[in-house]
Amino acid sequence: MNLSKIVQRQSGRLDLTLQKARYSLRRRFSHSDEQQILKQYIDELVPKDRPRTVVDIGAGNGVRWSNSYALVLEGWNALGIEADTHKYDLLSQVYRRFPNAKACHRRVQPDSIKTLLENFDVDKDFSVLCLDIDGNDYWILDAILSSFRPRLIVTEINEKIPPPIRFVVKYDPAFKLRHHFYGYSIAALADLCARHDYGILRLEYNNAFIAPRELAGERFIDASRAYEQGYRNRADREKRFSPNFDVDVLLSLSPEDGVEFLRQFYAKDEGNYYLGIKPEDIPNHTDVNTTLFPERSPQTSRIERPTVTFSSTRTQPCPICRIGAAPKTLGAATLGDETFFDLVECESCGTRYLSPLPSAEQLENFYEPQYYGSDWFKQRGLGSALAQLDLAKREPGNFLDVGCGLGFFIDGVRSHSKWRVFGVELTTAAVEFARAELGLEVSQGELSELEYPDAFFDYIQMHNVLEHVRDPMSLLKEARRILKPNGSLHLRVPNGIIDSRDLLKFFRDRGVPPFSKSGHLFFFPKRALLWMFAEASLEIAEAHTYGIRRGLATLGLWPRLKDWKRHYLAKPFGSNGANPQISLPREKSRPPFYYRYRMIRMNSRMLSGMREFGLDYQIVLTPK
């Protein structure tokens, strides 16, 4: 951990202690009087004879500005969800003392919130929802109310925008808060409430209290009244919300002029929001719903309006079979920074994958040069062993290693054979090393960008690559194109069912997205692999299974290490060393036959065929 992180963490803890102390003095934690208001509504609306549960989305550190902490102290069941790693650390520390409180580290998304709450056994009509995530609140609330019916909700609105102006920031999974640009207006909240048969109880500055009609119908007030009482006419508004001075003019403009003002004010974000005066100015909810929740049965359709497209990959076809468009969300995972992915399963081909897939940039950041150097002499030893054992039986030709890292494997092949060796690698630093230090022909980029001639290679090695790339199907097809008719493609790929099993178990047990170690994006079951090979016009010449013990251990059929979960704890980017230089550990000296012996031993431990209980497959493919 670096110094600034330590300082940040320590000051966070101190802050937390002070906040707790302040709480015990004032008995109050939230922004203003929300906590008392909440308490009053709870007394009046939430049945006392049933388990009491609060879900706090955007829970922060659990204490500061928290509407739920008082309820946690009273022993309520609590689920606190927080995306920020640092705040989450503090949140889980606070919750540790309360057996009924669970903390979850997650950036919530509309299409997975239902599954998330269900995974935590949250009842359909749970007691209280606190929602404050400074971003996609509107879409999250809409998604929750489509499946749950909380008794009382306190949710943050964008208080700057008076009714009847409807304003909603478009759904964006990677939303970042900008000056006055976030969330939604109270008029948009009123429309959303009406669709779900909820209503507004009151507004307290920027926090709206809402409840279902069957509990509080007679107490509902309209958006204008709530806004007048709760924000516009409050004596201390200008003092308390002084940063709003540059948009306060909205309070005196006509709705039409207000809309025009906002268009200019949000000019930089044009296209990223909905804005208007009538409920219809926010897109038809039915369209939004069917796009966002394709698995749900369509509701009776209303007036035709343009379909809204979301940047989520949920609505796109499966990246493998291109058929399944409604994958099932099984859990979540992270690649180690603060980005979380859904782990979904295609219902057509069974492939599991991270959704939305990470960008090329995110991936390049993931693979640091350090990732490659650790076993360089082993790589070189195994390369020379392959040359002496397998390649010696064939006429020398062109050898390609896809995902060659620093190039030590092909360096080993070259040194013990007459084969001409090539490498492909994504990471710039590794490519530069292979070229400059080892004098290898290594190309940088994705295989399909490199345009090798048709039928050029006799032997293509692709070890543990398919599960790491964003488009595995195109990669296989490209390998097929550049393979000679009598050439062979040597693949190693994990059995996705076993490989994803511990990730899902970790997520279920801890409620924290596991670290997809080594950066696996795809988890292919056997049937998906067979389909992919056929689709790429490749035929299986040989198939073996290895990693049998690890496979059996995952299935609970073999003893496993007690601390297996350790590997799934997220490590921040750069944790393997911030040094961008490639440094190689000292070579371990081995007798000349050592790696040949290792290769023979490894092969002898494999079972023939693709066995579903093994962790890894080694497959030799030839052109059909």
**338: Cβ contacts below 8 Å, ≥ 6 apart:** 83, 84, 85, 107
Q: Residue 54 or 344: which CB sits closer to Zn ion?
A: 344
- Least Å from the CB of residue 353 to Zn ion: 9
- Assign 552 to helix, strand or coil: helix
- Least Å from the CB of residue 468 to Zn ion: 18
Q: Which of 38, 72, 320, 333 binds Zn ion (CB under 5 A)?
A: 320
- Least Å from the CB of residue 356 to Zn ion: 15
- Least Å from the CB of residue 526 to Zn ion: 14
The interface mask with Zn ion, positions 340-359, x = CB under 5 A, is: ------x-xx----------
Q: Are 154 and 32 in contact (CB under 8 A)?
A: no
Task: Please state whether beta strands 53-57 and 128-131 pair in parallel, antiparallel, or not at all (unpaired).
Answer: parallel
Kindly state whether residue 324 participates in binding Zn ion, applying the rule CB under 5 A: yes
Q: Residue 64 or 352: which CB sits closer to Zn ion?
A: 352
DSSP state letter for 50? S
Distance CA 182, CA 170 (A): 9
Q: Which of 54, 129, 141, 321 binds Zn ion (CB under 5 A)?
A: 321
- Least Å from the CB of residue 600 to Zn ion: 38
- Least Å from the CB of residue 102 to Zn ion: 33
- Least Å from the CB of residue 610 to Zn ion: 18
Within 10 Å of residue 180's Cβ, how many Cβ atoms? 16
H-helix or E-strand spanning residue 21: helix 3-26
- Over its C-alpha atoms, the chain yields an Rg (Å, rounded) of 28
**575: Cβ contacts below 8 Å, ≥ 6 apart:** 336
Q: Are 327 and 500 in contact (CB under 8 A)?
A: no
Q: Residue 279 or 294: which CB sits closer to Zn ion?
A: 294
Task: Please state whether beta strands 483-494 and 616-623 pair in parallel, antiparallel, or not at all (unpaired).
Answer: antiparallel
Kindly state whether residue 57 participates in binding Zn ion, applying the rule CB under 5 A: no
The residues that bridge with 80 in the sheet, in sequence order, are 56, 103
Residue type, 257: D
Whether the upstream peptide bond of residue 559 has omega within 30° of 0, thus cis, is no
Segment interacting with Zn ion, rule: CB under 5 A, options 123-131, 305-313, 323-331, 405-413 = 323-331
- Least Å from the CB of residue 471 to Zn ion: 13
Q: Residue 203 or 346: which CB sits closer to Zn ion?
A: 346
Site for Zn ion in 73-112 (CB under 5 A): none
Kindly state whether residue 165 participates in binding Zn ion, applying the rule CB under 5 A: no
Q: Residue 318 or 429: which CB sits closer to Zn ion?
A: 318
Distance CA 84, CA 264 (A): 32
Nearest to 470 by CA among 519, 543, 432, 541: 519
Q: Residue 66 or 355: which CB sits closer to Zn ion?
A: 355
- Least Å from the CB of residue 495 to Zn ion: 17
- Least Å from the CB of residue 316 to Zn ion: 11
The interface mask with Zn ion, positions 299-318, x = CB under 5 A, is: -------------------x
Q: Residue 157 or 320: which CB sits closer to Zn ion?
A: 320
Which residue do the tokens 């101190």 mark? 14
Kindly state whether residue 168 participates in binding Zn ion, applying the rule CB under 5 A: no
Q: Residue 321 or 402: which CB sits closer to Zn ion?
A: 321
Kindly state whether residue 473 participates in binding Zn ion, applying the rule CB under 5 A: no
Kindly state whether residue 162 participates in binding Zn ion, applying the rule CB under 5 A: no
Q: Are 333 and 112 in contact (CB under 8 A)?
A: no
Tokens of 276: 């208007």
Q: Residue 349 or 493: which CB sits closer to Zn ion?
A: 349
Distance CA 610, CA 163 (A): 63
Q: Are 594 and 381 in contact (CB under 8 A)?
A: yes
Segment interacting with Zn ion, rule: CB under 5 A, options 22-30, 119-127, 184-192, 338-346 = 338-346
DSSP state letter for 144? H
Burial class (CB in 10 A: 0-12, 13-18, 19+), 540: middle
- Least Å from the CB of residue 531 to Zn ion: 9
Site for Zn ion in 6-35 (CB under 5 A): none
Segment interacting with Zn ion, rule: CB under 5 A, options 321-329, 374-382, 446-454, 492-500 = 321-329
Q: Residue 163 or 494: which CB sits closer to Zn ion?
A: 494
- Least Å from the CB of residue 516 to Zn ion: 19
Q: Residue 190 or 349: which CB sits closer to Zn ion?
A: 349
> What residue spans of 466-610 are helical by DSSP H?
472-482, 496-510, 526-535, 548-554, 594-604
Distances (CA, A) of 369 to 268, 364, 412, 433: 37, 10, 20, 10
Length of the chain: 624
# of chain residues touching Zn ion (CB under 5 A): 7
Q: Residue 189 or 344: which CB sits closer to Zn ion?
A: 344
Binding site for Zn ion (CB under 5 A): 318, 320-321, 324, 346, 348-349
